[in-house]
């Protein structure tokens, strides 16, 4: 029996991907026009994330905030479906300074404990070719942004100062599939590959 430390080749070798959404275009991520289903952008912040002085001032703004939060949840669900995933290091730009404001940039790190489960080939939602894992993740994020979803969620009504459970629907923003893809960037920032040794001691 060999002595000394033996590396377990089944141990996890996580991969880290940085995801950045650029939502500066009000054509792709509308900010005005009331509480239509394509408003709200993408945000991890619900009304609870703001102080009393900075809560949404109207029901429409509260609905839009709920929609942005639902799109972010759709992204998390999509990435979790690929492999064991954790969302880390979330950054939202300072434009989202209050409950009425809509973020123009969102960034986060997706950590996958088993990145080998993530495909590296396929066809994206704009009929383009996927050739890397980062490209596959990018497509999943874009699909989640465009996913039509209806759920009953808590919505803050600034006109009455109350929280209400309301049915909220999100649809894709006004962009085409290609345009939505263009607002998403994904970069592999760290991926650790296990190195094992064969019986002669040579690295494999």
Classify residue 111: in a domain, yes or no: yes
Tell me the pLDDT tens digit for each residue of 34-73: 668 999 999 999 999 999 999 999 999 999 999 999 999 9
Do 96 and 45 contact (CB within 8 A), yes or no? yes
Radius of gyration (C-alpha) of the chain in whole angstroms = 21
Place of tokens 């905030």: 65
Provide the CB-side half-sphere exposure for 189 (13 A, CA): 14
Classify residue 71: in a domain, yes or no: yes
Tokens of 114: 């088993």
The whole-model pTM stands at: 0.86
Tell me the pLDDT tens digit for each residue of 92-104: 998 899 999 999 9
Distance CA 147, CA 60 (A): 21
Average pLDDT over all residues of the chain: 88
Classify residue 7: in a domain, yes or no: no
Q: How confident is the model at residue 33 (pLDDT cuts 50, 70, 90)?
A: low
Q: Which residue has the higher pLDDT, 159 or 13?
A: 159
> Which residue range is the domain that position 158 belongs to?
15-191
Q: What is the pLDDT of residue 31?
A: 85
Q: Which residue has the higher pLDDT, 199 or 183?
A: 183
Tell me the pLDDT tens digit for each residue of 146-187: 999 999 999 999 999 999 999 999 998 778 999 999 999 999
Do 141 and 79 contact (CB within 8 A), yes or no? yes
The sign one gets for the Cα dihedral 21, 22, 28, 30 is: positive
- Is the pLDDT score of 193 beyond 50? no
Q: How many domains does the chain have?
A: 1
SS3 content of the chain, % helix, strand, coil (to 5): 25, 25, 50
Classify residue 67: in a domain, yes or no: yes
């Amino acid at each position: 029996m060999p002595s000394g430390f033996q590396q377990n080749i089944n141990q996890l070798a996580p991969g880290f991907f940085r995801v950045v959404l650029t939502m500066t275009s009000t054509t792709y991520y509308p900010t005005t026009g009331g509480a239509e289903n394509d408003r709200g952008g993408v945000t991890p912040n619900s009304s609870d994330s703001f102080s009393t002085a900075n809560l949404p001032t109207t029901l429409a703004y509260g609905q839009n905030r709920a929609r942005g939060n639902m799109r972010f949840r759709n992204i998390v669900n999509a990435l979790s479906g690929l492999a064991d995933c954790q969302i880390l290091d979330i950054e939202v730009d300072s434009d989202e300074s209050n409950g009425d404001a809509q973020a123009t940039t969102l960034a986060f790190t997706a950590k996958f404990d088993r990145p080998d489960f993530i495909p590296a080939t396929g066809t994206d939602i704009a009929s383009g070719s996927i050739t890397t894992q980062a490209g596959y993740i990018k497509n999943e994020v874009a699909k989640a942004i465009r996913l039509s979803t209806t759920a009953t969620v808590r919505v803050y009504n600034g006109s009455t100062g109350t929280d209400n459970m309301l049915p909220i629907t999100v649809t894709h923003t006004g962009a085409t599939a290609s345009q939505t893809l263009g607002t998403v960037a994904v970069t592999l920032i760290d991926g650790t590959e296990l190195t094992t040794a064969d019986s002669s001691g040579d690295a494999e």
